[in-house]
Chains A and B, each alone.
Chain A
Amino acid sequence: EPEVTQTPSHQVTQMGQEVILRCVPISNHLYFYWYRQILGQKVEFLVSFYNNEISEKSEIFDDQFSVERPDGSNFTLKIRSTKLEDSAMYFCASSAGGPYGGEKLFFGSGTQLSVL
């Protein structure tokens, strides 16, 4: 089965530093997402992206966060100035179809971000 690939698997950074989390969605998928999961908690939606635009974002996704699809294959999440509370597992996901189809989301294995 095709996979969503995320790099790195672990990222350690100092508070205030910028981090970029990278994802390669499944090649024919059109919709992309970032979710995060703080240790032991639920999986929380951050942002969805379609046609080079943000479709929806949560209240967590403030000005410190941005997403980009810099080329035809990568999808990135940037955190400009990390805070301790940004420490979490970040999951990238992609789907072939959009919201009206209830398409299955394929998730990557996640990037564990630790902010010290």
Chain B
Amino acid sequence: AQKVTQAQTEISVVEKEDVTLDCVYETRDTTYYLFWYKQPPSGELVFLIRRNSFDEQNEISGRYSWNFQKSTSSFNFTITASQVVDSAVYFCALWLPNDYKLSFGAGTTVTVRA
């Protein structure tokens, strides 16, 4: 069963535009963890953020911000004032306590044009 849905396949923006990536997850567990990873063209997976289900505070890290809303089962990611170096595939992922694995969404490809 699909546990993480990233409905946007590709997003293309011009530099300095803001871009928001949607992530909707599905679980009946009350304890869970949500992640975002970045995969630049070089191919590695870079950890961006982890959020547990009990912490609904939004988080900002530089130009990155995350909006966690349990009511809508969403954990959206916004890049403010995008730069060409932000061009990558971004994956949302879910960790459930009874799973020994991280379940990834399909990813959203972000292209930032100069």
Contact = CB atoms under 8 A, between A and B. Distances in A.
Physical interaction between A and B: yes
Interface of A: 31, 33, 41-45, 48, 50, 55-56, 58, 89, 91, 93, 98-100, 102, 104-110, 112
B83 interface: no
Contact of A104 (B42, B47, B91, B103): B47
B52 A102 contact: yes
Interface of B: 32-33, 35, 37, 42-45, 47, 50, 52, 91, 95-107
A102 B95 contact: yes
B97 A110 contact: no
B104 A56 contact: no
A71 B55 CA distance: 39
Contacts of B99: 56, 99
Given A42-B91, A102-B33, A102-B95, A56 B43 contact: no
A45 B69 CA distance: 26
A31 B101 CA distance: 10
Contact of B100 (A43, A50, A91): A50
Contacts of B50: 102, 104
Given A109-B43, A109-B44, A99 B98 contact: yes
